[in-house]
C-alpha cells in the first residue's frame, strides 16, 4: 500500500514538474480553446436563431393550413345542414304524395265499382226516370223531339251516358296516378341525390380532419425534434463549460 502511495506521489510530482515547465504553452493552448469555444458559441447562437425562425415558419404554416381546413369544414357543415333541410322537405312532400296516391287508388276503385254496378242499377230504375234524366240532365237541348225510342233504347242511352262519364273519370284518375308516380319517382331521385351529396361532403370533411390531425402530428414532431436538439445542446454546453472552467483555472495559475 505504501509503495502504491509512493508511486502515485512520484507520478503527481512528475506531472507538476511537466506542467511547470510547459505552463506558458498550456496557457496558450487554453486561450486558443477559449477562443474556439467563443466562436462555436457565436455560430451556435446564430444557427439557433435561424432554426427558431424556420421552426416558427413551419409551425405557423401548419397552423394556417389547419385554420383553412377548419373553415372549409364549417362551410361543409353548412352544406350538410342544408341537405338535411332539403331531405326533410322531400320527406314531407313524399308523405303528401303517398296520401294522394292512396286517395287516387280509392277513387279509381270506386269508379270501377260504379261502372260495374251501372247495369244492375239501371234495371231497378223506371224507364220514365231514365227518359227524364236524358232530357233534363244528360242532354237538355232545345228543339223538336221527333225521334221515338223504345224502353230498351232509352235504358241503353242512359247506360252509355253513365258509362262514358264514369270512364272519363277513370281515365282522369289514371292520368293523375301516372303524374303522382312520376312525382314520387322524382322525389326519390332527389332524396338519393341529396344523400349522395351529403356522403361526398362528409367524406371531404373526414379528409380535412385527417389532414388537420396529420398537421398536428407534424407540429408535435417538430417540437420534439427541437427539444431533442436543445437537450443535446445543453449537454454539449455543460461539457464545454466544465472544460472552459478548467482552462480558466489553469490560466489563473
- Judge whether 99 and 175 are in contact, CB under 8 Å: no
DSSP, collapsed to helix, strand or coil, labels residue 236 as helix
pTM: 0.61
Please give the chain's pLDDT, 253 residues, in tens: 555 555 555 555 555 555 555 555 555 555 556 555 555 555 555 555 666 677 667 777 778 888 888 999 999 999 999 999 999 999 999 999 999 999 999 999 999 999 999 888 888 889 999 999 988 899 888 888 888 888 889 999 999 999 999 999 999 999 999 999 999 999 999 999 999 999 999 999 999 999 988 888 888 777 777 776 766 655 555 655 555 555 554 544 5
Which tens digits make up the pLDDT trace of 69-98? 899 999 999 999 999 999 999 999 999 999
What dotted CATH number matches 2-252? 1.10.287.620
Which residue's C-alpha cell is 293523375? 176
State the pLDDT at residue 94.
Answer: 93
> How far, in Å, CA of 84 to CA of 198, rounded?
8
> How far, in Å, CA of 14 to CA of 22, rounded?
12
> How far, in Å, CA of 244 to CA of 253, rounded?
14
Cell of 50: 435561424
User: Is the Cα torsion angle 220, 221, 227, 231 positive or negative in sign?
Assistant: positive
State the pLDDT at residue 64.
Answer: 85
- Mean pLDDT over each residue of the chain, to the nearest integer: 79
- Judge whether 107 and 166 are in contact, CB under 8 Å: no
CA torsion 62-63-68-70 (nearest 10°) is: 110
Instruction: Give CA 76 to chain center in angstroms.
Output: 6
- Judge whether 166 and 122 are in contact, CB under 8 Å: no
> How far, in Å, CA of 65 to CA of 55, rounded?
15
> How far, in Å, CA of 195 to CA of 189, rounded?
10
Which tens digits make up the pLDDT trace of 224-250? 777 767 666 555 556 555 555 555 545
Which run of H or of E encompasses 212?
Answer: helix 151-252
CA torsion 161-163-168-174 (nearest 10°) is: 180
Q: What would you measure as the largest C-alpha separation in the chain, in angstroms?
A: 166
State the pLDDT at residue 44.
Answer: 55
State the pLDDT at residue 145.
Answer: 82
State the pLDDT at residue 121.
Answer: 84
Amino acid at each position: 500500500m505504501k509503495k502504491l502511495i509512493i508511486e502515485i506521489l512520484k507520478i503527481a510530482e512528475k506531472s507538476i514538474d511537466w506542467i511547470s515547465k510547459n505552463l506558458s504553452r498550456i496557457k496558450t493552448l487554453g486561450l486558443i480553446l477559449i477562443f474556439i469555444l467563443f466562436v462555436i458559441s457565436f455560430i451556435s447562437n446564430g444557427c439557433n436563431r435561424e432554426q427558431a425562425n424556420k421552426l416558427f415558419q413551419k409551425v405557423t404554416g401548419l397552423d394556417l393550413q389547419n385554420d383553412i381546413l377548419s373553415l372549409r369544414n364549417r362551410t361543409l357543415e353548412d352544406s350538410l345542414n342544408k341537405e338535411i333541410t332539403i331531405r326533410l322537405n322531400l320527406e314531407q312532400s313524399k308523405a303528401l304524395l303517398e296520401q294522394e296516391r292512396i286517395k287516387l287508388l280509392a277513387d279509381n276503385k270506386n269508379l270501377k265499382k260504379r261502372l260495374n254496378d251501372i247495369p244492375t242499377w239501371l234495371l231497378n230504375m223506371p224507364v220514365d226516370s231514365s227518359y227524364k234524366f236524358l232530357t233534363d240532365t244528360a242532354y237538355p237541348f232545345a228543339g223538336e223531339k221527333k225521334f221515338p225510342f223504345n224502353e230498351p233504347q232509352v235504358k241503353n242511352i242512359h247506360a252509355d251516358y253513365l258509362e262514358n262519364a264514369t270512364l272519363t273519370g277513370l281515365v282522369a284518375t289514371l292520368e293523375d296516378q301516372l303524374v303522382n308516380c312520376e312525382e314520387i319517382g322524382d322525389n326519390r331521385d332527389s332524396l338519393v341525390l341529396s344523400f349522395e351529396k351529403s356522403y361526398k361532403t362528409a367524406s371531404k370533411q373526414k379528409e380535412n380532419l385527417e389532414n388537420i390531425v396529420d398537421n398536428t402530428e407534424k407540429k408535435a414532431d417538430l417540437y420534439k425534434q427541437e427539444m431533442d436538439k436543445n437537450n443535446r445542446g445543453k449537454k454539449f454546453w455543460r461539457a464545454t463549460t466544465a472544460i472552459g472552467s478548467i482552462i480558466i483555472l489553469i490560466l489563473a495559475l
